[in-house]
Amino acid sequence: MPPNPPGSRPGALAHAFPETSAAPHSAPIGPLEAREGSGALKALLADLGSQIRRGRGLAREASLPLAFCPTGIPLLDARLGGGFPRGRLSELCGAPSSGRTSLATTLLAETLARGSLAAWIDPADAFDPVSAAACLAARGEGGKGSSDLRRLLWVRARSEKEAIRSAERILQTEGFELVLLDLAHARGRAPRGSQSAIQEASWLRLARLAAHGKSALVVLSNASQTGSRAELVLEMQRRRARFSAPPRLLDALEITAVLRRHRSRPTGQEIPLSLAADPDSSVDPHVHSQVHSHADPVHD
Amino acid sequence: MPIPSTTNKLAPAAGRARTRVACLLIPDLPLYAALRAEPELAGRSLVITTGPGPRAEILSASREALQAGIPLGQSLTQARAVSPGVEVRIASPVLERAARAAMLDVALSLSPRAETVARSGGLFTAEGAVFLDASGIAALHESESRFASVLHARAERAGLRGFVSLASSRGVARLAARQLANHARFARRAQEVETTRVLSPSKELAFLAPLSIDLLDPDDETADALARFGIHRIQDMLGLSSRDLAARVGPQILALIARARGEEIEPPLQTPRSLALEEGVDLESPLENLEPLTFVLRGLVSRLTQRLALRALGCGELRASLRFEGGGRDERRIALASPVQDERVLLRLIRQALESKPPSAALDGITLVCEGIPLRREQLDLFLPRGPDPSQLDQTLAELGSICGPSRVGSPAVVDDHRPDVFALQPFSGRVAPGRLAGRNADGVSSFTQSGRREADTTPTHTTVAARLTLRAVRPPARAEVRVEGDRPVALRSAVSQGEIVEIAGPWRTTGQWWSETGHFAVDHYDAQMSDGTVLRLCFDWRQNQWQVDGLYD
């Protein structure tokens, strides 16, 4: 038996690769066959080496702490473990007026205010730049929300198929911290070719691309559709709209965020939130405590 | 016209010492135009003919064909008799035009001022030449010889093998290049061929003197007259009185004398304004399928991107002109969100454009025109999160523009306008406004978020937290049927929601541009909560006298 390479355990190679140490042919091995055998062994080792390296890389990636896109809402971020995870697929779902878009816009504003780039893929053509600029201005030092919008890439896709293709392309471009894919629809019925056309394979591909590009991919939808591919599913539920005393003004939207799915956090907890039309006047603990005690989920 | 009676002395012209002009000359442009399109023909016996058929004349021939004994000017039949295996291509004006433009691109990659020379006649029909301003170029390239070598090498990389000369005027530079080409034609070995020549101002006239007058490209009548008088060389002509020569040969000789002395009136070289690059091909047999067409397109795009790289440009818009067999054309326009120089991206975009709407007939020619745009060079910020690689971002934007349409991709911008749902879409650049992040820490996290997060760890679970309510636009606004009691809407039916209105606030009237017939707007907005819990923005358009839902609070 040939001596083991220096530094290796005696017999380690034979133990690890018994099929390579056993003679495959009954005929005696000539010089040519011996060369071919050693070449095959080298190829096998090289192949295994790359697999081992890849495995190590995966293990290292898995052990690395996740980076997050915080929403800037302290309670929600605490419940989510820091925010929406980067390199993962997350979903925000709920009925119309359940606060999906407001939460997504808050997340967007927080991301843009940090100087990062974000993309909003909008097959529903529902993104409102004025609302987003107001949200950014409220997050930033004031009054400059529209300039932060220059770091937002708005893709007004004409169909969900285009939206998926656009999302794939953007996720391939490393450097977008947040990619929002708005598949929610405001109208009574879903647009032609929507939702059902998005197959499981698409979500798998998007999740992999998000992991590759280290982007937080957040999908807005009416009902959860990403299945097991999502790291996090946050369901938004509407409770009631609050109007002020005369003159009647829409004051706030009371909603509840329910963590339906999370790989590492407890699920099922309800997080009450208030979406204020004018944040400066809405944070009134007295009113909120009163509202929270009401049982009626939709309206008075 | 009074004719100066002075004898033409071999004296340098005053005030010309500082101007330096380089000439890149390709004596067999049709040959190299064909080789650019079909590089696999390099090293083979190849002739370019003036047209189809056996009687077509040989316009240009490769070195291998010339060595096989095929002389220029013979018919194709004679050429085939001498060398039966010779490859034959018909001179293509499209390829030749692209080759001339490529020469100009090579010149512009080294000098800001350059221009191509109009096609000559007679002996120099197949010649292509470009002049470029080389004044002071030695300071950049160590010496003028070094510059000439660089120009020559760059032309070779673009598939254009020619001769380079530097002199004080265009005429002399061209003569020097022609002389190099003439010597090369009679050289026995390729190693003997001299390809660059730099003429210092003091040696120009000595160089010109022994040259043949034919190099000055005289018209036939003048050439015959000079030959009759036994004047064959430039020094013979310049040794005679201009007046006497003009009296015997004709006044056109004065222009020839000025050209020989480098005194021809030459307007300054221009900086070309057009950034449109064109590449095309005439197909030998019509193509019906996209797959073989892709091979043709790959060559065209490859040459285009090579030229774009020479000019440091990106493709801002691509126009594909498809010529159908039996007549008819189709134009495809592919607008790109940002300049692209990547061959694969451009090829993919053209393929997408052709696949989305396949040509209606077989193609027998295709031309690509690319509008060049200077490439963006931007330094990234040290204190900001790393964004995408600019070139990768450009490609992404280009592909997104192709997927969704270029007018549907960009950065949203708020417009100072009171009309409902007015916004602008700007080109996405990802730039950060200067000083925007002041007050944030080195991690790029705002102090608001940090303090908030610390607070969150100790906050009781049942605390309501405020965020801003956002409107979700309904585009185009959904028409609605509204039941009004008194002056208040009480019920609604629309595609967005339907049912009783349980809470409502408003109206808020917005009017403007009353002076404009088309731009006048007047709307009343309401915030309404429906019985199903939906909170929407209801709008009454006074101009159309119509209820609409134009937003949803979500």
Dihedral (Cα; B358, B361, B365, B368), 10-degree rounding: -20
More confident residue, B266 or B172: B172
Does pLDDT of B509 surpass 60? yes
More confident residue, B449 or A13: A13
Q: What is the pLDDT of residues A178-197, one digit of tens each?
A: 999 999 975 544 554 454 55
pLDDT at A290: 30
Would you call A273 and B464 a contact, using CB atoms and an 8 Å cutoff? Answer: yes
Q: What is the pLDDT of residues B67-87, one digit of tens each?
A: 888 888 888 888 888 888 889
Whether the CB-CB separation of B298 and B367 falls below 8 Å is answered with: no
pLDDT at B531: 92
Give B124's DSSP letter.
Answer: G
Give the Cα separation of A202 and A220 in Å (integer): 15
pLDDT at B403: 85
Q: What is the pLDDT of residues B363-413, one digit of tens each?
A: 989 999 999 988 766 666 677 777 787 767 877 887 888 788 878 999 999
Does pLDDT of A248 surpass 50? yes
Give B47's DSSP letter.
Answer: E
Q: What is the pLDDT of residues B151-182, one digit of tens each?
A: 999 999 998 989 999 998 888 898 889 888 88
Average pLDDT over residues B186-199: 80
Does pLDDT of B215 surpass 50? yes
**Residue in B382, B414, B421, B554 to test binding to A, most A beta-carbons within 10 Å:** B554
More confident residue, B246 or A37: B246
Whether the CB-CB separation of A93 and A233 falls below 8 Å is answered with: yes
Least trusted range by pLDDT, from A137-141, B1-5, B65-69, B468-472: B1-5
Whether the CB-CB separation of A136 and A149 falls below 8 Å is answered with: yes
Least trusted range by pLDDT, from A155-169, B163-177, B396-410, B428-442: B428-442
Q: Which amino acid is at B205?
A: L
Strands (E), B146-257: 163-167, 196-198
Model confidence band, residue B335 (pLDDT cutoffs 50, 70, 90)? confident
Would you call B413 and A172 a contact, using CB atoms and an 8 Å cutoff? Answer: no
Does pLDDT of A89 surpass 80? yes
pLDDT at B316: 84
pLDDT at A25: 43
Model confidence band, residue B524 (pLDDT cutoffs 50, 70, 90)? very high
- B291: part of which helix (H) or strand (E)? helix B290-310
pLDDT at B446: 34
Highest mean pLDDT pick, A245-249, B244-248, B549-553: B549-553
Whether the CB-CB separation of A287 and A276 falls below 8 Å is answered with: no
Does pLDDT of B552 surpass 90? yes
Sheet containing A117-121: give its strands across: B423-426, B409-414, A152-155, A117-121, A176-182, A216-221, A89-94, A232-243, A250-262, A270-276, B465-468
CB within 8 Å of B445: residues ≥ 6 apart: A114
Collapsed DSSP state (helix, strand, coil) of residue A284: coil
Question: CA of B439: which chain A residue's CA is closest?
Answer: A141
pLDDT at A3: 46
Q: How many beta carbons lie within 10 A of that of residue A234, not counting itself?
A: 27
Highest mean pLDDT pick, B50-54, B278-282, B386-390: B278-282
* Phi–psi pair at A200, nearest 5 degrees: -55, -40
- The share of chain A scoring above pLDDT 70, in percent, equals 68
pLDDT at A280: 57
Model confidence band, residue A279 (pLDDT cutoffs 50, 70, 90)? low
Residue A160: Cβ-neighbour burial (10 angstroms; 0-12, 13-18, 19+): buried
Give the Cα separation of A206 and A89 in Å (integer): 8
pLDDT at B140: 85
Model confidence band, residue B262 (pLDDT cutoffs 50, 70, 90)? confident
Would you call B446 and A129 a contact, using CB atoms and an 8 Å cutoff? Answer: no
- Mean pLDDT across chain A: 76
Q: What is the pLDDT of residues A3-51, one digit of tens each?
A: 444 444 444 434 434 443 334 444 444 554 555 556 777 777 777 776 6
Q: What is the pLDDT of residues B464-507, one digit of tens each?
A: 556 889 999 998 999 999 999 988 899 999 988 999 999 999 89
3-state helix, strand, coil in chain A (%, to 5): 40, 20, 35
pLDDT at A177: 93
- With b meaning 16 or more CB within 10 Å and e meaning fewer, what string describes A172-194? bbebbbbbbbbbbbbbeebeeeb
Average pLDDT over residues B56-64: 88
Q: What is the pLDDT of residues A39-82, one digit of tens each?
A: 777 777 777 776 666 666 555 555 556 789 999 888 888 888 88
pLDDT at B432: 56
- With b meaning 16 or more CB within 10 Å and e meaning fewer, what string describes B38-77? eeeeeeebbbbbbeeeeebbbbbbbbbbbebebebebbbe
**Residue in B392, B399, B422, B464 to test binding to A, most A beta-carbons within 10 Å:** B464
pLDDT at B8: 45
pLDDT at A139: 73
**Residue in A117, A164, A291 to test binding to B, most B beta-carbons within 10 Å:** A117
Would you call A172 and B462 a contact, using CB atoms and an 8 Å cutoff? Answer: no
Token digits for B421?
């749902």
Does pLDDT of B548 surpass 90? yes
Nearest of B318, B219, B311, B232 to residue B278 by alpha carbon: B318
Would you call B535 and A292 a contact, using CB atoms and an 8 Å cutoff? Answer: no
Whether the CB-CB separation of A220 and A92 falls below 8 Å is answered with: yes
CB within 8 Å of B7: residues ≥ 6 apart: B239, B240, B241, B242
Question: CA of B508: which chain A residue's CA is closest?
Answer: A249
C-alpha to C-alpha distances, B531 to A131, A186, A298, B484, nearest whole angstrom: 25, 16, 8, 16
Model confidence band, residue B278 (pLDDT cutoffs 50, 70, 90)? very high
Nearest of B323, B318, B290 to residue B304 by alpha carbon: B318
Positive or negative: CA dihedral B250, B254, B255, B261 = positive
Give the Cα separation of A232 and B343 in Å (integer): 39
Give the Cα separation of A42 and A290 in Å (integer): 74
Does pLDDT of B460 surpass 80? no
Least trusted range by pLDDT, from A83-92, B7-16, B193-202, B445-454: B445-454
Would you call A149 and B413 a contact, using CB atoms and an 8 Å cutoff? Answer: yes
CB within 8 Å of B282: residues ≥ 6 apart: B92, B94, B95, B364, B365
Would you call A75 and B497 a contact, using CB atoms and an 8 Å cutoff? Answer: no
Collapsed DSSP state (helix, strand, coil) of residue B105: helix
Cis preceding linkage at B507, omega within 30: yes
pLDDT at B69: 87
pLDDT at A98: 92
Whether the CB-CB separation of B199 and B144 falls below 8 Å is answered with: no
Q: What is the pLDDT of residues B88-122, one digit of tens each?
A: 999 989 999 999 999 999 999 999 899 988 877 77
Tell me the pTM.
0.61
Would you call A154 and B425 a contact, using CB atoms and an 8 Å cutoff? Answer: yes
Give B132's DSSP letter.
Answer: E
Give the Cα separation of B40 and B279 in Å (integer): 18
- Mean pLDDT across chain B: 83
Whether the CB-CB separation of B515 and B527 falls below 8 Å is answered with: no
Does pLDDT of A109 surpass 80? yes
Does pLDDT of A144 surpass 50? yes
pLDDT at B166: 93
pLDDT at A156: 94
A162 touches chain B (CB under 8 A): yes
Which A residues 79-118 touch B at CB under 8 Å?
95-103, 105-106, 110, 113-117
Positive or negative: CA dihedral A26, A32, A33, A37 = positive
